[in-house]
Amino acid sequence: MRSLTATLCTMVAVGLLAGCSGFGSTSSSLPGMGSQSQRLHNANNAPLSLIPQGFVPAGVRRLHLDVPPLKKTKSSGLIYASEFYGDAVYGYPNPNSKDKPATCSLGTSANYLEYVNGFGTDSKGDTMIPALTPSTSDYLYINVFKPNCGALVWSTEVEAGQAADAYTNAKSAITGSILVGLLRIGTTDAGGAVICSAKSGCGTPISNASVTGYVAGVAMATNGDCWISGATDTTTGFVLVYFKGCTGSGKVASGTKNASYGGLFFDAAGNLAAVDGSGMLYVYQGCDPKCKVVSTSKLEGESFFGGLDSKGTSLALGDYENGQIDVYSYSTKKGAKYQYSFSNGLTQSDMVETGQFAPAIKKT
């Protein structure tokens, strides 16, 4: 782990949304765009964490005496975990109810992965990680790796702002397009998203005037529609924005219940799940732009990012409050029910923001 500077100790999280070729033409009059001098990583403007400024880890493990015994299951892929102040993304066995150590990792001393907020996986087990990569001039990149802690396949710099989440609607992140959430656009305090690919790099960012704070999660349906989860006052408040075809200025979704921004993912029924950073999970139907609440779940701790396994019946979430990965059973109608946690090798003070199954559920 790298030591923290005084600048990093005061960091708060941000996110972005942007579009690229293949999803329709986009235009942008967003502030803060332009030269390389406006990029997020520099002496005066270090990468930011989504965890609210001044957060102090609780250090108290919540007890769940009513949790049913786990069914015996065969090992299936990995559960990846990241820490914002870490220098690697770790691959743990799936399942990991016995809190076993990581079996592999992404990131090396020559090209480590640092300042990771959210990241994504696809149904093949490929991993999409927005991170600082010092071997490439200390700028923020979206990095795509092969399954099972495999080799880096491609990497491209995200010039629009700080990359902080990644989601794909393609069968493979290696060959398809990736929706990259940006904590903020340029040097503004408003986020959005951008679409990136190995062939085309990253396109023009898109956002909405209602997003006046940072952006956390992003999601993209197989039909090309996109959503972003943003704050309305730097790191507080919540707004969900729908972008038809992942272009234009979008529409604010109605009928949402979230109090705080967080990660987004689709389940097997095509419902959009929105993690509430204050410790809740809301699952919605529609949101194009009208949402209908399908289920509401209380989470084990305060979380931002996570996703479902290949069957869509288990959910992994990074729990920054307790410094662990929380695993839940998941139902498209009933939401999430806590099962177990693991933290072997993770450090609470390093801020555990994301847990992801790999392979992940096939996108809908």
Distance from first CA to last CA of the chain, Å, rounded? 37
The pLDDT of residue 48: 85
Q: Sheet with 161-168: list strands edge to edge.
A: 161-168, 178-185, 192-197, 201-202
User: 103 Cβ partners below 8 Å, 6+ apart?
Assistant: 78, 91, 92, 93, 149
Q: How many helices (H) and strands (E) does the chain have?
A: 0, 26
If you average pLDDT over every residue of the chain, what do you get? Answer: 84
The pLDDT of residue 53: 62
pLDDT at 6 over 70: no
pLDDT at 25 over 90: no
From CA 313, how far away is CA 110, in angstroms rounded?
A: 37
pTM of the model: 0.84
Backbone angles phi, psi at 147, to 5 degrees: -60, 160
Mean pLDDT for the stretch of residues 255-259: 98
Mean pLDDT for the stretch of residues 44-48: 65
Domains along the sequence of the chain with CATH: 14-53+112-307 (2.120.10.30)
pLDDT grade for 13, boundaries at 50, 70 and 90 = very low
Mean pLDDT for the stretch of residues 166-194: 94
pLDDT at 160 over 50: yes
pLDDT at 240 over 90: yes
The three-class DSSP label of residue 276 is strand
Burial of 223 per CB tally in 10 Å (0-12, 13-18, 19+)? exposed
SS3 content of the chain, % helix, strand, coil (to 5): 5, 45, 55
Q: Sheet with 120-121: list strands edge to edge.
A: 120-121, 127-133, 139-145, 152-157
pLDDT at 326 over 50: yes
pLDDT greater at residue 337 or residue 62: 337
User: CA separation (Å) from 71 to 9, 74, 93, 154, 160?
Assistant: 42, 10, 16, 38, 45
pLDDT greater at residue 271 or residue 63: 271
* 89-144 pLDDT tens trace: 999 999 999 999 999 999 866 567 889 999 999 999 999 999 976 655 556 899 99
pLDDT at 36 over 50: no
* 197-221 pLDDT tens trace: 999 999 999 999 999 999 999 999 9
Q: Which amino acid is at 104?
A: C
User: Do 172 and 126 contact (CB within 8 A), yes or no?
Assistant: yes
The pLDDT of residue 62: 41
